[in-house]
Amino acid sequence: MNDPSTCEGALQISHYWICCAPFFETTLLVMPPPSRQRAAERSSAASILRLYDADGYLANEVMVEFSYDQVGVIELEPLMAGCKFQAGLKHGHLEVHSPPGFSELCRIHTREGASQMSAPVLLSNTRRVFFPLLFSTERVSLLCLINAGETEAVLRGRFFCAKRSPEATWEVPGRGARVISLTSEFSEYLEAGPTSQVQAYIRIGVRNDCLVGAQLIDRTKGPKEGSFFSAIS
């Protein structure tokens, strides 16, 4: 999620949802600009990483330097020691201040595999988003939300399943993050049997004047021990 409303000097600002326990870990990948855009007299450039916990408190801030000729890789777990658990996950909001031309993405990984995550989709009180959902006894859908501003954000989600369309409201603290298990949130409206699947979708919007990033992560149990994850943004 690129925040168009903020800037810090010549740096561009992006926002990501990150997690380090207990299911998977997050790695930040930083890609240099194309060769035609690279600074002629510089071999590297510095970025600022700010990590906020789920309640929006600054847990860590570091400056890192990335080369113009290779992809930068940062394991985020060592930087998240000060982050709290929320909804059973140790997660938070990563704010990246990087030089123009650089781009990032996050990778979540377990022992079973990895999934690349682009930046969360940006929501506001004038822009909503729809996510497709697929429920089963082997699958859990997690809605991950990060607040790019200082003010608490209020979101409304409408769940569409068959002829039912219940609503739910969630609050995300300023600079904070929240994870909602949609499987648990709307369990009373699901009728999946041991082998059946239920298709649905959810519409999410922001009720007040805030910028919020949203991402959907599906956790699927493997045939043996362990889980696999996929991300939509």
If you average pLDDT over residues 4-20, what whole number do you get?
A: 74
Domain contains 5: no
- Whose CA is closest to 230, among 119, 107, 137? 107
Write out the residue range of the structural domain in which residue 174 sits: 122-232
In b/e form, how buried is each residue of 5-31, taking b as 16+ CB within 10 angstroms?
eeeeeebbbbbbbbbbeebbbbbbebe
Q: Phi and psi at residue 183, in whole multiples of 5°? A: -60, -40
Tokens coding 207: 């009720």
Same structural domain for residues 157 and 74?
Answer: no
pLDDT digits 0-9 by tens, 17-34 = 999 988 788 999 998 887
CA distance 65 to 178: 30
Q: Would you say residue 5 has pLDDT above 50?
A: no
Tokens coding 45: 């450039």
Same structural domain for residues 144 and 103?
Answer: no
Same structural domain for residues 160 and 94?
Answer: no
Same structural domain for residues 67 and 130?
Answer: no
Place of tokens 């004047």: 209
pLDDT digits 0-9 by tens, 137-162 = 778 889 999 999 999 999 999 999 88
Domain end (from 119, 140, 168): 119
- Position 10 scores a pLDDT of 73
CA distance 44 to 167: 48
Domain end (from 76, 93, 119): 119
* DSSP assignment letter at 161: B
Same structural domain for residues 212 and 136?
Answer: yes
Total domain count, the chain: 2
Highest mean pLDDT among 18-22, 76-80, 113-117, 138-142: 76-80
Tokens coding 98: 């990087």
- Whose CA is closest to 135, among 89, 202, 88, 204? 202
Same structural domain for residues 226 and 190?
Answer: yes
pLDDT digits 0-9 by tens, 167-184 = 999 999 999 999 999 988
Domain contains 3: no
Query: Any idea what the CATH number is for the domain that residue 91 is in?
Result: 2.60.290.11
